[in-house]
Amino acid sequence: TTIPTLSSLYTTLSLKPTSKSAHRPSPTLLTKISLFQGDITTLHLPNGAIVNAANKSLLGGGGVDGAIHRAAGPQLLEECRTLGGAKTGESKITGGWRLPSKHIIHTVGPIYHSGEIEEKASQLKSCYTTSLHLALTHGLRTIAFPSISTGIYGYPIVDATRIALGAVREVLDADANEDKVRVSVCVYGDKDKEVYESLLPEYFPPV
């Protein structure tokens, strides 16, 4: 009898050499993402940040941006005036002021109905990755994201959720980042919650 080679073994077992198990998250990774429904301004993250879906001026606006500025108070606007705005896909950090969270990370999502779809997708992904990297470089333990661009900016929720979860997974997988930061997704509406609940196991499969 000949010793089967690895590739023939995989054929016998009808598995491809790059089986999905190689990409399974460790048990700890699964505990690093959670879903929360409600008002993001109420989250108490003394060693963390909530993310604001801001506009390029970084000087406040409607939706979650308005709610965050109202709850954080006028000193937030004062600090934001020193930032000089941000480009689409960029993120900048401020203090949390009156919020029960230490920091606010302001990120500028793309407006869906303008420009190339590939560009929108990479800008939205960049909102998540640049925010996560800011949290990591500031040694934050927790970061909570709203569903960026899916309100006034019109990004379809399923596409946006796939981009969000894919980006979070990618950053947590890199360089043992999973041990450094916990991620919370803060959904507001019931439909968004359903979409996240249905897609989460695909990006963070149970071990």
159 part of the interface to ligand ADP, by CB under 6 A = no
Please report, as a single letter, which amino acid is at residue 118: E
Q: Give the nearest distance from C-beta 28 to ligand ADP in angstroms.
A: 27
Q: Give the nearest distance from C-beta 126 to ligand ADP in angstroms.
A: 14
What is the rounded distance in angstroms from the CA atom of residue 101 to the CA atom of residue 80? 17
What is the rounded distance in angstroms from the CA atom of residue 74 to the CA atom of residue 71? 9
What Cα–Cα distance (Å) separates residue 116 from each residue in 123, 154, 167?
Answer: 11, 14, 20
What is the rounded distance in angstroms from the CA atom of residue 198 to the CA atom of residue 140? 28
Q: Are 119 and 157 in contact (CB under 8 A)?
A: no
User: Residue 138 has which token pair?
Assistant: 């500031």
Treating both helix axes as pointing N-terminal to C-terminal, what angle do 157-173 and 190-203 enclose, rounded to 10 degrees?
A: 40
Stretch that binds ligand ADP, among 24-32, 38-46, 86-94, 163-171 (CB under 6 A): 38-46
- Contacting residue, 25, 33, 41, 130, with ligand ADP by CB under 6 A: 41
**With CB under 6 A, what is the number of residues at the site for ligand ADP?**
21
Stretch that binds ligand ADP, among 8-16, 78-86, 168-176, 187-195 (CB under 6 A): 187-195
C-alpha dihedral (5, 6, 12, 13), degrees to nearest 10 = 160
Complex with ligand ADP: residue 147 or 177, whichever CB lies closer: 147
Stretch that binds ligand ADP, among 10-18, 22-30, 89-97, 145-153 (CB under 6 A): 145-153
Stretch 101-140: interaction string toward ligand ADP, x if CB under 6 A: --------x-------------------------------
> How many beta carbons lie within 10 A of that of residue 107, not counting itself?
29
- Contacting residue, 150, 161, 177, 184, with ligand ADP by CB under 6 A: 150
Site residues for ligand ADP per CB under 6 A: 39-41, 53, 63-65, 67, 109, 146-153, 186, 188-189, 192
